[in-house]
C-alpha cells in the first residue's frame, strides 16, 4: 500500500501553536504508514498520538488503514484533532494552563 506524505491544511497551524506554547511534540507526519501525525504528551504526563484531519464532514475525516490500526492498538492514547483548540483540549489544556502559566503569557505565545 502506498501512503501520501501530504499534510492536512491545518497541520501547520497546529504545530506552530504547540511550538509557540512551548509544548513538547514530535511531528511524525513525514513517516508514511506510521498511523499518526504528532507524538506528544497529555498535561498529566501520559503519551498521546494525535492524528490531524481537516475540519469538515465525517466522510472527509476517514482514517487510513494505518491510522485505524493505531487507534485500535492504543485507543486510550489516540486522538483525532482538527483545530488548535481541539489539540489543546486533547492534551488537557482546555480547562487551564500548566502551573506558572497565565492567560496573558499564553495569548502572547500564541499571537502571530
Q: pTM for the full model? A: 0.78
Say which CATH architecture domain 11-110 belongs to. 3-Layer(aba) Sandwich (3.40)
Q: Quickly count: other Cβ atoms within 10 Å of residue 83's Cβ.
A: 14
Closest CA to 50 of 19, 17, 14, 3: 14
Q: Which DSSP string corresponds to 38-85?
A: EEEE-TTS-EEEEEE--SS-GGGGPPPHHHHHHHHH-TTTEEEE-SHH
Cα–Cα separations (whole angstroms), residue 64 to 3, 51, 57, 90, 105: 9, 10, 16, 21, 37
pLDDT tens-digit map of 13-28:
999 999 988 899 999 9
Contacts of 17 (CB under 8 A, 6+ apart): 84, 87, 88, 110
Return the ∠ at Cα 109 (arms to 104 and 112), rounded to 5°.
115
- At 44-82, the pLDDT tens digits run 999 999 999 988 887 778 999 999 999 999 999 999 999
CB atoms within 10 A of CB 31: 13
What are the structural domain ranges in the chain? 11-110
Amino acid at each position: 500500500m502506498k501512503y501520501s506524505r501530504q499534510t492536512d491544511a491545518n497541520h501547520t497551524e497546529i504545530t506552530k501553536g504547540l511550538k509557540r506554547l512551548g509544548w513538547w511534540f514530535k511531528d511524525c507526519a513525514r513517516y508514511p504508514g506510521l498511523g499518526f501525525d504528532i507524538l506528544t504528551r497529555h498535561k498529566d504526563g501520559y503519551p498521546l498520538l494525535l492524528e490531524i484531519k481537516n475540519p469538515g464532514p465525517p466522510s472527509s475525516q476517514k482514517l487510513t488503514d494505518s491510522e485505524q490500526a493505531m487507534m485500535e492498538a492504543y485507543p486510550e492514547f489516540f486522538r483525532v484533532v482538527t483545530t488548535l483548540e481541539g489539540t489543546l483540549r486533547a492534551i488537557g489544556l482546555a480547562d487551564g494552563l500548566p502551573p506558572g502559566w497565565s492567560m496573558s503569557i499564553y495569548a502572547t505565545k500564541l499571537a502571530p
